Amino acid sequence: MTDLLAARSQMAMSLAFHIVFACAGMGMPLLMVIAESLWVKTGDEMYRTLAQKWAKGTAILFAVGAVSGTVLSFELGLLWPHFMAFAGPIIGMPFSLEGFAFFTEAIFLGIYLYGWDRVSPRAHLASGVMVALSGLASGMFVVTANAWMNTPAGFELDAAGNVVAVDPIAAMFNPSAVGHSVHMAIAAFMALAWGVAGIHAWMLRKDPRNRFHRQALGIALAVGTVTALLQPLSGHVVGEHVAHHQPAKLAAMEAHWETERGAGFTIGGWPDVEAEETHYALTIPGLLSFVSYGDWDAEVKGLKDFPEDERPPVVIVHLAHQTMVGIGMTLIGVGLLGALLALRARGVPDDPRYLALVAACLPLGFVAVEAGWVVTEVGRQPWTIYGILKTADAVTPTEGLIVPFLAFSALYVLLSIATVYLMLRQFAHAPSTEVADAAG
């Protein structure tokens, strides 16, 4: 393994690990605020219990996310010093604001965890809202920095290639910032909601009379279904930005080789890099042109129009994109089926077969998020800053990077085991059926 590959692998592993906890930091507070709002509205103590359980889970995930996020911040400087030297003065603002949002979230999370019966119900609920807003802001500030790497803005280069005329506001609100941030926020809510729904569906299947799991499932399914329906709309906006600003990435996403008008949208298929064609694919004529440019006859550039050394790894990007889209469609279908069953049952759907289906969906939202980040990051290759700085030129000259890669891999394995253990202890002992029935 080359040092460049080791550095990229370590960064990829760190991002893949941390993004799960970033989703939790953005999504869990929304669920606990909804649960507490229902308690305030109805007086049902089970909703209060649910909010407290979810808040404790949020605290566990927040703590682990803080560790992995700190590791990432050090890795940026240690593994990619040339990138930080170039980009630091330009995108320092969103990282600074992310730190402010992070500490705000920590403060209000402390109030939320320890303020039960110590502050008024209105103030306590407000603290939960602040946790949700600051968690959302924290994630979105980081995404704006990443969006800048895809569509760099807010600076100029002098004749010697030095950065001048930095405009941090323009850099933070680069052309991709809003679209990418909204897409990530919805993805985080969707992944977290379906993960929570999967846990409670499994528990409810084992104990059908348990109101705790039933109410939790109802909230999570509602959030998961709504966000799954919204995600294709935000994805369409992101796709249009990619088409205009990163045509090579779009071509790799669709395994689209030939430049043509009325380009078809590819479903499935296996890209053959040597033959420069895609096998076994189903193509919908004209759809790629329409979703990318709003015109059924628009021209879409193919991979053959780009030098081979500037093409993204098409197999990885295409399969990740197909995975992301496929999971999104699956979750929409499962959510709509649940809505239909809920209308028929006039309550949370409790058919054992449907509960098993929801439980099977537990990891899918997170897999879709991971696949989306693969599309974003691998699809930008060979560039770290698109069109300006290549990844090979951004890496540290230090040798032996396989050693920290293996060390941090071991660290993440241990953190994963500890997190799963703590979460199982937290949610394995929900209120009993008798207590749940008495509360009702």
Q: Using one digit for the tens of pLDDT, what is the confidence trace for 124-155? A: 999 999 999 999 999 999 999 999 999 999 99
- Each residue of 249-288: pLDDT tens digit? 999 999 999 999 988 898 999 999 988 899 998 989 999 9
178 close to 148: Cβ distance less than 8 angstroms: no
Rounded CA-CA distance 116/52 in Å is 9
Burial code (b: 16+ CB inside 10 Å, e: under 16) for 320-334 equals bbbbbbbbbebbbeb
Rounded CA-CA distance 247/298 in Å is 13
- Each residue of 185-213: pLDDT tens digit? 999 999 999 999 999 999 898 888 888 88
**304 within some domain:** yes
Average pLDDT (176-189) is: 93
Burial code (b: 16+ CB inside 10 Å, e: under 16) for 269-292 equals bebeeeeeebeebebeebbbbbbb
**124 within some domain:** no
pLDDT at 327 over 90: yes
pLDDT above 90 covers what percent of the chain? 53
pLDDT at 435 over 80: no
Rounded CA-CA distance 14/17 in Å is 5
DSSP collapsed to 3 states, 375-407: HHHHCCCCEEECCCEEHHHHCCCCCCCHHHHHH
Number of domains in the chain: 1
**193 within some domain:** yes
| Greatest C-alpha distance within the chain | 76
Q: State the pLDDT at residue 434.
A: 44
pLDDT band of 416, cuts 50, 70, 90: confident
Q: State the pLDDT at residue 437.
A: 42
Residue 337: count of CB within 10 angstroms of its CB: 16
pLDDT band of 428, cuts 50, 70, 90: low
Residue 206: count of CB within 10 angstroms of its CB: 9
User: Which domain, by its residues, includes 355?
Assistant: 187-398
Residue 416: count of CB within 10 angstroms of its CB: 13
77 close to 84: Cβ distance less than 8 angstroms: yes
**136 within some domain:** no
Can you list the positions of beta strands (E) in 168-276?
260-261, 265-272
**325 within some domain:** yes
**153 within some domain:** no
> Which residues are paired to 133 by β-bridges?
none
pLDDT at 401 over 70: yes
**380 within some domain:** yes
Nearest to 216 by CA among 37, 46, 440: 46
37 close to 223: Cβ distance less than 8 angstroms: no
pLDDT band of 436, cuts 50, 70, 90: very low
pLDDT at 302 over 80: yes
Rounded CA-CA distance 385/388 in Å is 5
Could you tell me the two tokens for 141? 């500030």
Q: State the pLDDT at residue 430.
A: 57
Nearest to 388 by CA among 193, 189, 206, 151: 151
pLDDT at 69 over 90: no
- Each residue of 96-120: pLDDT tens digit? 899 899 999 999 999 999 999 898 8
pLDDT at 431 over 70: no
Rounded CA-CA distance 385/176 in Å is 13
Q: State the pLDDT at residue 440.
A: 36
Phi and psi, residue 271, nearest 5°: -70, 130
> Which residues are paired to 387 by β-bridges?
none
pLDDT at 425 over 70: yes
pLDDT at 58 over 60: yes
- Give the dihedral of Cα atoms 358, 364, 368, 374; nearest 10 deg: 180
- Each residue of 222-256: pLDDT tens digit? 999 999 999 999 998 998 999 999 999 999 999 99
**180 within some domain:** no
Mean pLDDT, the chain, as a whole number?
89
Rounded CA-CA distance 385/371 in Å is 20
pLDDT above 70 covers what percent of the chain? 97
pLDDT band of 37, cuts 50, 70, 90: very high
Rounded CA-CA distance 243/236 in Å is 10
